[in-house]
Amino acid sequence: MSQFDRLCVERFLEWLKNKKDWWVVLEREGVESIRYYKRDFRFFRVYNRFDRQYVKRVIRRFRKVKYFAEEHSFVHIELTVKHEGSISESIKLLRKNWNRLRALLKKRLGHNYPFVDFIEPCKDGYPHLHILYFTKKFVITHEELSRWCEEHGLGYVVWLRRYWACGGYRKKPIYYFAKYLTKQYKKEKWSFGDFVFYACIWFLGCKTYTYSQKNLNYVKGSLKVGKYMF
């Protein structure tokens, strides 16, 4: 664990110790009456990624992604890192090179295909990245991907598997995403490596999952409300 990783852990411990329930209170504009009514205020609780309620909301949103994965063919890619040096640097290296790989695939396939990715810790805290890349086209060979990863400082060990929409695979990778997400708030089950990983994720402000906005954007209903202010 590097000096920067230790700093992440110290700040994370301090944040967990001082973390409280925060609420945002909005007051309706233009209210001049002496007596306030319930409708004149709106209350929003502030959640973070380590709250059970927040994770449950994310899992509900992922249902649409699950349906998308069941109806479309995709390639499951897993990228790893060398288990040495700084965990925080390994996290940044994974994200940086996944962007590079996406640019390479876009140039090769001629289209920016939709994707979902999720970063997860190994037992010792070092990260690996799961990617679902939605396309029917041939993407890359296992040997070429391993060689490309090694050239860019990632781990030589990679995972690559094709899943067809018409296939009878019961255990598609998308089903495990909920399991990965729930691990975030089960702090009592974290290993030391898990703790260092989540401390670095928190300190860096790095997302544990991302998805392509264009094809997998969640449809949000419109709600007409009055104007509010702090």
180 lies in some domain: yes
43 lies in some domain: no
Structural domain including 125 reads: 3-19+48-219
29 lies in some domain: no
Digit-coded pLDDT (tens) for 25-48 = 777 666 555 555 566 777 777 777
41 lies in some domain: no
33 lies in some domain: no
The pLDDT of residue 218 is 42
**Count: domains in the chain:** 1
Digit-coded pLDDT (tens) for 193-221 = 989 999 999 999 988 888 886 655 543 43
24 lies in some domain: no
35 lies in some domain: no
229 lies in some domain: no
**Tokens linked to 144:** 């070429």
Low-confidence ranges of the chain (pLDDT < 70): 20, 28-39, 167-172, 213-230
